[in-house]
């Protein structure tokens, strides 16, 4: 092996680089600014705020290079030109990935493709700042092309290459800001073996004169004579075609743990940031730790969730969005163990479980307030993960939504519309409502006593008075269970589950028949719809799901043209499906539209239809709002809710809000109330119960008020901060109420003593 190349390939620490430059290269090199003549490249390279995004960009560039090589080789091997309009389509046509989705590949197929890109963690001079290699078997780069490709800034060389992910021209340049040095070696693909030498360069940050220069400049090493990166002539078997980018002493922050750790590791980083990667790749651990020599194939969290054993339920829908399309997938994590709520941390932050991706890369994650506040599924918070796939988003929406750093999305009307689409879609999934209620039932280990029912009614009346709003009379009736089924009864009844303005049939799986015999719209006839709004029709069938993928078998007929149009559908799930519609603005109140579903399978024809009625939409007026049923639940240390939520003696209460009711879990083992009860225990059972009920009522009242105050907010940006504030407020309230209780008992004692003296 060439001695210089040997030193290059083995330089993994900053000290190795200093020695190499000083002893081997010093007299042969000069330095040029990254990005050409632009001496002010510091702001551009430092635009990113997350080192993980820089690593993700490097991997994305490596995948692009592999796709480009496959594309060019196909063009030149006599098979003729091929039209590819997206990276997902490239995955399908060039690597035989069905639909471009890695969920359709088995582990062996993943392993075969993953060899094209390898990411390796290596030792460095600083333990928490590893050296990271990204090695691809792509097209490679000639020395003369470095400056206009891998070392360019805002060049936009991929703008017309629709089959590649890159577009913004910054690529992995943001990763330079987090590395002590960046070493790049590359051999461009050639049909003639060894025609192209291995080109190499080094990127460094030059702080300049700290007394004169406000900021420094990023520079790369070039041959003093040619002005291009240096070259070295070595055999192909020692360095194959493609590129190696080595970030030396890279600060990857919280992701520096051993590679195989489920969180805080490279494993977590790449699965999370490349949530639905278009091609798999491999990661390796070569640092001196217990995972050394470990290797893993990476296919993204989307595949992990769809193929793994953690998931109880999965749903999927395809929705029209402006002139493009959105695919929404959602998973519910199993709830089998005490630590089940921690499983979500292996896939995403619990506070941001709604992942937005484009070309497989995560661009942002939305707040869990959508699950709790908008979907009213509090018991699925921490268990529900939602993926919003924007691969087929129209260009106009994409430009308005995504930013160049790919670290977040713009706070725009497009984002608001996207959030509403997610809400509208998941609201139509009855299984989520059933699962939410099932999770709640696990916490109701004790029957709710008459005392608690009356207490709930009393609190509802207080809140009604406080907020000056009307309250549903059924919620004030302590015998309401005799008149209306409880939430539990509704969900457990086989044919009577709440769903907007209709009763939904049982969600039991429907066996497939060939030929099919069943097609039935289960939404109520004369369903109310509103001008400009979306609505959905549910249906059941025993037909094979494949017949609903195209218009040759399944058709929707709307009696009045250009008044209502379809906006998407869910993936058929065990005989259950949903079709989404949008109501045009040219309809009038009172119009009745007929919608018919037709299914044709060979000689079999099935159809069903219903009418929908255009109705005046009632504005939401807070003065006419309905207070749901309020259900206080006392919780002690052994209660499942206490254990599941990791409560301690300082915990006070937590509100869970569903469509039908507000449930308030209140700790009766809180340190404040426990101290008072222990003091007054000698006063007898009746006194203790009176103290406890007084405490429960007032904590419940304030907890609900606090929740309703935040529910009025149109948008909650930081749910973690809000939740922390609620916790602090309730702790203060707990101390205040307990102080009042103590004062009351002191007064009683003083009065009792005075009476005795007299």
Domains in the chain (CATH in brackets) are 3-285 (3.30.565.10), 309-441 (3.30.230), 450-481+626-757 (no CATH), 507-614 (2.60.40.10)
In this predicted structure, the answer to whether residue 382 has a pLDDT above a threshold of 90 is yes
| Highest mean pLDDT, choosing among 114-128, 334-348, 503-517 | 114-128
Number of H helices, E strands in the chain: 20, 28
Question: How high is the pLDDT of residue 406?
Answer: 64
Biggest CA pair distance of the chain: 115
The rounded distance, in Å, linking the Cα atoms of 597 and 575 is 15
User: E strands within 188-269?
Assistant: 198-206, 217-223, 230-232, 242-250
Neighbours of 310 (CB within 10 A): 18
Q: Is the pLDDT of residue 338 over 90?
A: no
- Indicate the DSSP class of residue 327: E
The string of pLDDT tens digits covering residues 230-286 is: 999 999 999 999 999 999 999 998 999 999 999 999 999 999 999 999 999 999 999
74-83 average pLDDT score = 77
At 502 the pLDDT is: 37
Contact 635, 642 (CB under 8 A): yes
Give the CA dihedral 582, 585, 587, 588, nearest 10 degrees. 130
What is the separation, in whole angstroms, between the first and last Cα of the chain? 108
Cα dihedral 564/565/567/571 (nearest 10):
100
b/e 709-721 (16+ beta carbons within 10 angstroms → b): ebeeeeebeebee
411 Cβ contact partners less than 8 Å away, ≥ 6 residues apart: none
3-class secondary structure, 599: strand
Q: What is the mean pLDDT of the chain?
A: 86
Q: Report pLDDT for 41.
A: 86
For the range 220-226, what are the long-range contacts, defined as Cβ-Cβ under 8 Å and sequence gap of 24 or more?
Answer: 220/31, 220/32, 220/34, 220/146, 220/151, 221/21, 221/25, 221/29, 221/30, 221/31, 222/29, 222/30, 222/31, 222/32, 223/28, 223/29, 224/27, 224/28, 224/29, 224/30, 226/143
Query: How far is Cα 131 from Cα 11, in angstroms, rounded to an integer?
Result: 10
The answer to whether residue 501 scores a pLDDT higher than 70 is no
Of 710, 627, 700, 707, the closest CA to residue 665 belongs to 700
Q: DSSP character for 617?
A: P
Would you state the structure tokens that stand for residue 421, as one six-digit string?
């689409």
Note the pLDDT tens digit of each residue in 675-711: 988 887 777 778 888 888 899 999 999 999 888 887 6
Q: What are phi and psi of 127, to 5 degrees?
A: -60, -40
What are residue 654's DSSP bridge partners?
A: 665
């Amino acid at each position: 092996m060439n001695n210089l190349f040997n030193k290059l390939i083995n330089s993994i620490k900053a000290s190795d680089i200093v020695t190499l430059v000083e002893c081997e290269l010093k007299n042969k090199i000069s330095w040029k600014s990254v990005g050409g003549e632009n001496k002010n490249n510091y702001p551009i390279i430092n635009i990113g705020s997350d080192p993980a995004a820089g690593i993700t960009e490097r991997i994305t560039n490596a995948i692009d290079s592999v796709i480009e090589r496959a594309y060019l080789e196909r063009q030149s091997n006599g098979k003729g030109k091929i039209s590819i309009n997206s990276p997902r389509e490239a995955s399908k046509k060039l690597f035989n990935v069905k639909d471009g989705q890695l969920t359709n590949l088995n582990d062996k197929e993943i392993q075969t493709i993953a060899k094209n890109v390898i990411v390796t963690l290596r030792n460095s001079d600083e333990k928490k700042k590893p050296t990271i290699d990204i090695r691809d078997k792509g097209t490679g780069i000639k020395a003369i092309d470095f400056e206009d490709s891998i070392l360019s800034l805002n060049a936009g060389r991929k703008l017309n290459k629709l089959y590649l992910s890159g577009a913004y021209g910054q690529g992995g340049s943001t990763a330079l800001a987090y590395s002590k040095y960046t070493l790049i070696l590359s051999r461009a693909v050639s049909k003639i073996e060894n025609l192209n030498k291995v080109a190499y360069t080094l990127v460094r940050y030059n702080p300049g004169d700290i007394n004169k220069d406000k900021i420094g400049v990023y520079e790369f090493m070039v041959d003093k004579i040619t002005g291009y990166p240096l070259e070295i002539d070595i055999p192909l078997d020692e360095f194959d075609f493609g590129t190696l980018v080595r970030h030396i002493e890279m600060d990857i922050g919280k992701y520096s743990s051993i590679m195989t750790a489920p969180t805080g590791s490279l494993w977590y980083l790449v699965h999370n940031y490349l949530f639905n990667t278009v091609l798999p790749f491999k990661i390796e651990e070569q640092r001196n730790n217990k995972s050394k020599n470990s290797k893993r194939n990476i296919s993204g969290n989307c595949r992990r969730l769809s193929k793994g054993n953690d998931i109880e339920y999965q749903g999927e829908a395809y929705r029209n969005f402006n002139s493009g399309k959105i695919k929404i997938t959602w998973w519910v994590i199993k709830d089998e163990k005490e630590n089940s709520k921690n499983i979500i941390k292996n896939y995403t932050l619990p506070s941001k479980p709604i992942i937005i991706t484009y070309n497989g890369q995560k661009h942002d994650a939305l707040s869990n307030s959508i699950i709790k506040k908008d979907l009213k599924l509090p018991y699925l918070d921490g268990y529900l993960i939602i993926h919003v796939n924007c691969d087929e988003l129209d260009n106009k929406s994409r430009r308005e939504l995504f930013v160049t750093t790919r670290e977040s999305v713009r706070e725009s009307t497009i984002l608001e519309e996207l959030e509403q689409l997610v809400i509208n879609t998941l609201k139509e999934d009855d299984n989520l409502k059933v699962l939410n209620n099932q999770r709640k039932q696990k916490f109701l280990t004790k029957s709710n006593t008459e005392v608690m029912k009356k207490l709930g009614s009393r609190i509802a009346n207080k809140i009604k008075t406080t907020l000056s709003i009307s309250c549903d009379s059924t919620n004030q009736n302590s015998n309401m269970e005799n008149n209306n089924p409880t939430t539990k009864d509704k969900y457990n009844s086989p044919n009577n589950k709440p769903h907007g303005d209709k009763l939904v049939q049982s969600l039991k799986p429907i066996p497939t028949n060939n030929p099919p015999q069943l097609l039935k719209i289960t939404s109520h006839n004369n369903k109310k719809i509103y001008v400009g709004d979306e609505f959905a029709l549910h249906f059941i069938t025993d037909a094979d799901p494949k017949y609903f993928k195209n218009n040759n078998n399944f058709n929707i007929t709307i009696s009045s043209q250009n008044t209502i149009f379809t906006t998407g559908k869910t993936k058929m799930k065990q005989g259950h499906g949903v079709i989404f519609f949008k109501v045009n603005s040219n309809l009038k109140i009172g119009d009745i539209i007929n919608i018919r579903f037709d299914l044709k399978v060979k000689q079999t024809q099935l159809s069903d239809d219903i009418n929908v009625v255009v109705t005046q939409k009632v504005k939401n007026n807070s003065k006419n709002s309905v207070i749901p049923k309020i259900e206080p639940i006392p919780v002690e240390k052994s209660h499942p809710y206490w254990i599941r939520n990791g409560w301690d003696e300082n915990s006070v209460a937590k509100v869970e809000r569903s469509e039908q009711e507000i449930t308030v879990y209140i700790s009766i083992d809180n340190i404040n109330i426990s101290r008072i009860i222990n003091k007054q225990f000698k006063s007898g059972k009746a006194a203790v119960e009176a103290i406890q009920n007084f405490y429960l009522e007032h904590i419940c009242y304030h907890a609900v008020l606090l929740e309703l105050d935040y529910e009025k907010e149109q948008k909650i940006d930081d749910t973690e901060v809000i939740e922390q504030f609620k916790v602090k407020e309730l702790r203060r309230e707990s101390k205040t109420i307990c102080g009042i209780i103590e004062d009351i008992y002191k007064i009683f004692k003083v009065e009792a003593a005075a009476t005795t003296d007299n």
